[in-house]
A and B are shown apart, each in its own frame.
Chain A
Amino acid sequence: MSRLCTVLVLAACLVASAAAADFVVENASRRINLKNTWAKAIDTLKAKNTGDSDLSNFVVCYPESIASRIAVLKVLIKKEKQEVAPLQQAPQGAPAGVSCYQATFKSAVKKGATVDLDVVATVTGVFKPNPAKIAQGEKQYVEYYDNLYLLSPYEVTEQSSTVLLPTSDVRSFSPQDGGSKSGSKVSYAALGKQGPWAVQQLKVHFHHDKPFKRVNSLVREIEVSHWGNIYVEETYEIQNAGSQHTGKFSRLTYAHSPDGKTNSFPDVKAHLPAAAHSLYYKDIIGNISSSDTTHTSRETLIEVRLRYPLMGGWKTDFTLGYSVPLEGFLYRRPKGKLRLLMDLSTSFDDVWVEQLTTRVVLPEGAKHIKATLPFADIQQSWDKKFTYLDTAGRPVLVLSKSNVVPEQNKPFAVDYSFTFTGMMREPLLLISVFAAFFAAVALYNRLDFTITRDEKWQEGQAHDKALGLIQSLTEYWDREADVLDRLVRLAHSISNRPSADAAPASRQALEAELRPLDEQSKALLSQVEALSPKLAAAARNHGDKSKMLLGRAAKLLSDKSDLIKKDVAAHEASAKLAGATRQLEEAIREWVDEGAKLAQG
């Protein structure tokens, strides 16, 4: 820092008077706000065009140490933003180590007219801890360096500088003369008239009571699914960028002493969209079991408690994921185009991001992709991602930017076109794969992979066919069994003389039922005969057995009728014939089982 100062001073001496002295800053009031964990320098300027023509360019400069850490630089005229672009080369006469930006006004400043400007610079990571390492419970002191004067190529007629600090605990500030400290404010009221490139180092060494929450890297992945969801996954590496913690970390002190927690933070808070759902919060080794969400109608507030409190210099990482519906984020545009509108950066409070990468994963088949970005210094590149059932890969738009503060969490838009057929692609793929699979199986079952068709094969084929025929024969056998059953029941039901008289007629009726069956089964049997004589014999044998059973059933019936006719009481008759009945029933059941076995080969 001091080296830089000497360079600046030397350079200032060499400066010839204004090369770009078209403006004269009549009044400059600098307010450097250091209350937050990053610095915000607001320069309120009154500039007069003293040149010969209308001017629309204004140059603002910062020492290199500040300029390299500027996250946001705004030049406002009546709260209206003007275009600002960095100058590749510092203007003539500028001392070394100075970076300048050029603001281009929307309306030129007339010759001789004055303009009121607000130049706002948000600068991160410029606090230098001193001492660099502190023990638990000790206060964190940091130094801030800047130029005391407005660093400008223009002459400044009158100026003042004020430094706003988070606490009133100020160890030192320099230069001492001209400055005064009151409360948490160090001010240099009247700095008088200075020529262009006035340089003097301002240094404040003070107690900063806020932990510096720095996100070293953040990767956001936004994946759009046209089936109704947008997945957002954010992977953070977060560090306490304040004074390094050194020595013992005592949990006792941390939990029970009033100053045990100084210079550390246990959590961060994020404001997610109100529609966010399916939240998860984890790291590489699993869920982090401590977080709290509150849903309100305007937002979803998530309080992310880190795995452990971050003392100075400690870091950790985690992944936060959620889903939002398409409504409110994806809009239809004319000509079948679509526009995705999402926030660029993190929604965490009071953290700044060193390196931000936002990956926008669009559905497979999205075309004509064009991004509209809120900042000029975002780099764009392309990637491809393969997820569920992708064949060609999804286009990924990769946006990267460094040094991002929360106020830069602005929406960006991605326009693309995507058709309905593209959406149906994956379901159709699945359907066709399954259809192909079933078709292949169906085909396979109809193919014959026999190598030789010898006798054995012929026999096997014939046997299989014969078995198929016997399967259909079993139907007839089942019906025969049914008739047999009914005959037995008929025998049971005979209880008086009239029913005994009617028995033969019913028997004949039942037997008549069998006749057509018999013929049909005979036809089938002859077919079986042609294929496999062995099976046919077995089947015929089985069929013959039914005749025998029929005979037994008929006998049972006639026995019962006879007994009834002899005026034996019904239950006595039943009792007498019980043995025979049971045996017959058993035989029928066995016969049926045998038939089933036969049909199974």
Chain B
Amino acid sequence: MAALNAWGWSTRSLLLLLIATMSFSIRLFSVVKYESVIHEFDPYFNYRVTQFLTKNGFYNMWDWFDDRTWYPLGRVIGGTVYPGLIYTAGLMYQLLHFFNIPVHVQEVCVFTAPLFSAFCSLAAYGLVSECWDTGAGLAAAALIGMVPSYISRSVAGSYDNEGVAIFALVFTFYTFIKTVNSGSLRWGTINLLAYFYMVLSWGGYSFVINLIPIYCLACVVTGRLTARHYLAFAPLVFVGTLLAASIPVVGFNAVMMSEHFASFLASIPVVGFNAVMMSEHFASFLVAAVMHAALAVRWVKALLPPRQFEYATRLVLLGGACGLAGLVLMMLGYVLRSPTFGWTGRSLTLLDPTYASRFVPIIASVSEHQPPSWPSYITDLHFAALLAPAGIMAAFRKLDNGSLFLVLYGITAVYFSGVMVRLMLVLAPAVCCLSGVAISDILTTLTSSLKAGYVSFQKSQRTSATGEASEDGGASTSDEPATPTPSKTPSGRKSKSGKPASSSDDKSSRTIYNSLFGWLSSESNPLPAPVAALGLLLMLGLMALYTIHCVGVSADMYSAPSIVLQSHRQDGSFYVFDDFREAYAWLRHNTHPETKVASWWDYGYQTTAMANRTVIVDNNTWNTSHIATVGRAMSSPEAKAWRIYRSLDVEYVFVVFGGMIGYSSDDINKFLWMVRIGGGVYPEIKEQDYIGEGGQYRIDSGASPTMLKSLMYKLSYHDFAPAAQRQFGMNGYDRVRNTQIGKTEVPLKYFEEVFTSEHWMMRIYRVRDQPNRDAAKPASRGGAKRKAARA
């Protein structure tokens, strides 16, 4: 009938098209408000590799040894990147150029993430439709299309792995559930390819290869294991791992890394619990083994008479225990050889959130590796965070293959997001899918209640139309049971209990119970119409709020490219601070192409991409001691720093300084991390030396003498005091720290200012060939020269 067609194919596709368009366009604020430009730090590296790919081709990128970074070590790009994103953009570029559409690589890169967000919402629709129903699927697609957490990593210009990886993640889950539900080998193959794409795109693939075993294990434990699970899981683990191992960056990590053995060991006593904790692949093999065993047991059980089966069980258990004990000893020996027991820092951080802050300052210094705060859950997920538990409840009520998966996904993702802000991104799809289920469930209940109310209202209208039941007519809109006798309650209308509830006392008490709580217990029980209407209004209001919140957050918080800053003027127009690009452009055009440039590692990718100069360290923080060397130079006094930089062949050093315009994420504020990281490798750098009076990190008159002598202080505040005097009328007033700097006279002997951007945000210095002999009075020297010139 007509009602059935409401969710027909064409309406659904239209809605999905609209949702996809919305997902794409909500991410374009950055282009509209700023410009079509690559954002932040890591995207610049991806952009640079993509440029290389489009220029030099696939195989050359595979073999690329990059000597523009990590001087003098260099970096093997082909073997150390997850190339999924780069190939995707490269392929799109090739395709467009095949049709002679002259789009620049940059535009392709800028719009890759929004495009894949649109795909992701489609994949989420698929996943939830497979797990629940199409209505929930649509809700989930709409939610995921604009969830702020995901927007933060996929606005136009945010050309990062996560942009395509979240799509790959959701799509892999969708195809997996589809395989489980359909048992089709075709879907199994697609699932395999989706997983391969996921591994190509992001290190987060280990989440997939751990969640799926957990799910299968849960199926084994709860006894819902079928051959279809096996069909979905076995190829994924075995062929998927082979595929993963063929990607250089993953390589034999997929099977060889000792942390997998460790997790294997840990997993034996309490398999179910530890499977959650295992960070990489071994879990999946183990689960595959468990699945094999479970299926084998079932088969043998069917084959043998019960008694013999018991004997066989005992025999197998005994043999198994002996074999296992031997295996455990071997593993233990292998694992104990390595000092950290084979675990990598990031994996350990996942297990023990305080690990990084205690032992690995490089991981801890990155803001996205911090645990999130509560407000960030609300900012990033808004009411989806509240609805997700409702979704879990709903899923438990109708527990099947799909909903079990959603529940497990949601719960594991919550844990991981609690460890690192960055992993909020994995949580967002889970929360959206669960909220989609919740919204769909709630709306179904509310609307069907309203419909039931409307039907009975119509009925009462009809009766009143005949003229006799006029006394009932007035109450009909708000009070739905108009025709039944007053003694009857709404629950009496329950379709299944057709008989009038009149006979016994027991039954009447139940009626009273039903009248109060009945609508909670059963699906088919409609709510009272006013409650339903109110609930509907509330839901619609919440959804509207969510939309407003998402659009607002997307427009205001997550669209800034961070290489361009804007400030509002009095008249409503914008003032643009474009200092970063100003300085990078200067480096690109006015220094020798083979120059080495040193800066804190945050700016490494940008320097290689925008200035095209060789850097010492960059955002790929693979070599701690190299970074520590730069940290040490920055924290050392000028002469020592000069020697360090000379030994590294560095000709230019730049610092980012926000004191003039109040840009707070500058190098002075990051300085303590440099000290810590430097001190981690070079013990002569001690954090206490840089702490001023009152145990605080400060740069004013209370700053420690070591701090005031450090290169970072000097490079940041050289010449600054008189400029601040002219700008703010206060000698050496720092706008970020809101104080007067400790030492206003900052002469330089070993370094020479060669460029400072318009708002002083980037200051580039040349490392002198020889120390300046009369550094103390540069002004008088210049003056004398000028006089000589006039003569």
Tell me whether B498 and A495 are in contact (CB under 8 A): no
Tell me whether A256 and B723 are in contact (CB under 8 A): yes
Q: In whole Å, how far is B595's beta carbon from the nearest beta carbon of chain A?
A: 15
The 3 closest A-B pairs by CB, nearest first: A251-B756, A289-B576, A286-B37
Tell me whether A570 and B466 are in contact (CB under 8 A): yes
Which residues of B from 207 to 262 have beta carbons under 8 Å from A?
none
Q: In whole Å, how far is A239's beta carbon from the nearest beta carbon of chain B?
A: 9
Q: A287, A308, A314: which contacts B757 (Cβ < 8 A)?
A: A308
Residues of A within 8 A of B757 (CB): 251, 308
* B133 interface residue (CB < 8 Å to A): no
* Other 19 A-B pairs with CB < 8 A, given A247-B752, A289-B564, A386-B100: A135-B782, A137-B782, A137-B786, A248-B753, A251-B753, A251-B756, A251-B757, A252-B719, A255-B723, A288-B581, A290-B576, A308-B582, A386-B102, A495-B468, A569-B468, A571-B463, A571-B468, A596-B1, A596-B4
6 CB contacts below 8 A, A to B, read: A251-B755, A251-B756, A286-B564, A307-B581, A307-B585, A495-B467
Q: 0/1 per residue, B488-530, Cβ < 8 Å to A?
A: 0000010100111000000000000000000000000000000
* B457 interface residue (CB < 8 Å to A): no
* Residue in A387, A492, A569 whose Cβ sees the most chain B Cβ within 10 Å: A492
Tell me whether B37 and A387 are in contact (CB under 8 A): no
* B578 interface residue (CB < 8 Å to A): yes
Q: How far is the CA of A388 from the CA of B757 in the complex (A)?
A: 39
* B610 interface residue (CB < 8 Å to A): yes
Residues of A within 8 A of B101 (CB): 387-389
Cβ-closest chain A residue relative to B462: A492
Q: In whole Å, how far is B320's beta carbon from the nearest beta carbon of chain A?
A: 45
* A583 interface residue (CB < 8 Å to B): yes
Residues of B within 8 A of A286 (CB): 35-38, 563-564, 581
Q: How far is the CA of A479 from the CA of B79 in the complex (A)?
A: 69
Tell me whether A574 and B756 are in contact (CB under 8 A): no
Tell me whether A287 and B37 are in contact (CB under 8 A): yes
* B337 interface residue (CB < 8 Å to A): no
Residues of A within 8 A of B377 (CB): none
Q: In whole Å, how far is A263's beta carbon from the nearest beta carbon of chain B?
A: 12
Q: A135, A290, A308, A388: which contacts B755 (Cβ < 8 A)?
A: A308
* B311 interface residue (CB < 8 Å to A): no
Q: Given contacts A495-B468, A586-B495, are A574 and B786 in contact (CB under 8 A)?
A: no
Q: 0/1 per residue, A574-591, Cβ < 8 Å to B?
A: 110011001100100000
Q: In whole Å, how far is A281's beta carbon from the nearest beta carbon of chain B?
A: 11
Tell me whether B1 and A390 are in contact (CB under 8 A): no
Tell me whether B585 and A308 are in contact (CB under 8 A): yes
Q: In whole Å, how far is B496's beta carbon from the nearest beta carbon of chain A?
A: 10
* Residue in A287, A288, A386, A389 whose Cβ sees the most chain B Cβ within 10 Å: A287
Cβ-closest chain B residue relative to A575: B485
* A315 interface residue (CB < 8 Å to B): yes
* Residue in A289, A290, A571 whose Cβ sees the most chain B Cβ within 10 Å: A289
Tell me whether B463 and A492 are in contact (CB under 8 A): yes
Cβ-closest chain A residue relative to B459: A492
Q: In whole Å, how far is B304's beta carbon from the nearest beta carbon of chain A?
A: 36
Residues of A within 8 A of B590 (CB): 313-315
Q: How far is the CA of A578 from the CA of B589 in the complex (A)?
A: 90
Q: How far is the CA of A316 from the CA of B581 in the complex (A)?
A: 12
Q: How far is the CA of A435 from the CA of B101 in the complex (A)?
A: 21
Residues of B within 8 A of A478 (CB): 1
* Interface of B toward A, CB cutoff 8 Å: 1, 4, 35-38, 99-102, 462-463, 466-469, 483-485, 493, 495, 498-500, 563-564, 576, 578, 581-586, 589-590, 609-610, 719, 722-723, 726, 752-758, 760, 778, 782, 785-786, 789-790
Residues of B within 8 A of A586 (CB): 495, 498
* A489 interface residue (CB < 8 Å to B): yes
Q: How far is the CA of A489 from the CA of B461 in the complex (A)?
A: 12
Residues of B within 8 A of A158 (CB): none
Q: In whole Å, how far is B2's beta carbon from the nearest beta carbon of chain A?
A: 10
* A147 interface residue (CB < 8 Å to B): no
Which residues of A from 306 to 321 have beta carbons under 8 Å from B?
307-308, 313-317
Residues of B within 8 A of A285 (CB): 37, 581, 584-585, 609-610
Tell me whether A317 and B589 are in contact (CB under 8 A): yes
Which residues of A from 247 to 306 have beta carbons under 8 Å from B?
247-252, 255-256, 259, 283, 285-290
Q: How far is the CA of A286 from the CA of B753 in the complex (A)?
A: 26
Q: In whole Å, how far is B492's beta carbon from the nearest beta carbon of chain A?
A: 10
Q: How far is the CA of A313 from the CA of B592 in the complex (A)?
A: 13
Cβ-closest chain B residue relative to A139: B789
Residues of B within 8 A of A137 (CB): 782, 786
Tell me whether B35 and A287 are in contact (CB under 8 A): yes
Residues of B within 8 A of A383 (CB): none
Residues of A within 8 A of B786 (CB): 137-138, 259
Residues of A within 8 A of B564 (CB): 286, 289
Residues of B within 8 A of A571 (CB): 463, 468-469
Q: In whole Å, how far is A544's beta carbon from the nearest beta carbon of chain B?
A: 21
Q: How far is the CA of A279 from the CA of B180 in the complex (A)?
A: 55
Residues of A within 8 A of B585 (CB): 283, 285, 307-308, 316
Q: How far is the CA of A252 from the CA of B721 in the complex (A)?
A: 10
Q: 0/1 per residue, A230-247, Cβ < 8 Å to B?
A: 000000000000000001
Cβ-closest chain A residue relative to B612: A284
Residues of A within 8 A of B462 (CB): 489, 492-493
Q: In whole Å, how far is A90's beta carbon from the nearest beta carbon of chain B?
A: 41
Q: How far is the CA of A255 from the CA of B720 in the complex (A)?
A: 12
Q: In whole Å, how far is B750's beta carbon from the nearest beta carbon of chain A?
A: 13
* Residue in A139, A286, A289 whose Cβ sees the most chain B Cβ within 10 Å: A286
Cβ-closest chain B residue relative to A315: B589
Residues of A within 8 A of B586 (CB): 307-308, 314, 316
* A592 interface residue (CB < 8 Å to B): yes
Q: In whole Å, how far is B96's beta carbon from the nearest beta carbon of chain A?
A: 10
Cβ-closest chain B residue relative to A239: B589
Q: How far is the CA of A139 from the CA of B467 in the complex (A)?
A: 106
Residues of A within 8 A of B610 (CB): 285
Q: How far is the CA of A135 from the CA of B1 in the complex (A)?
A: 87
Residues of B within 8 A of A252 (CB): 719, 722-723
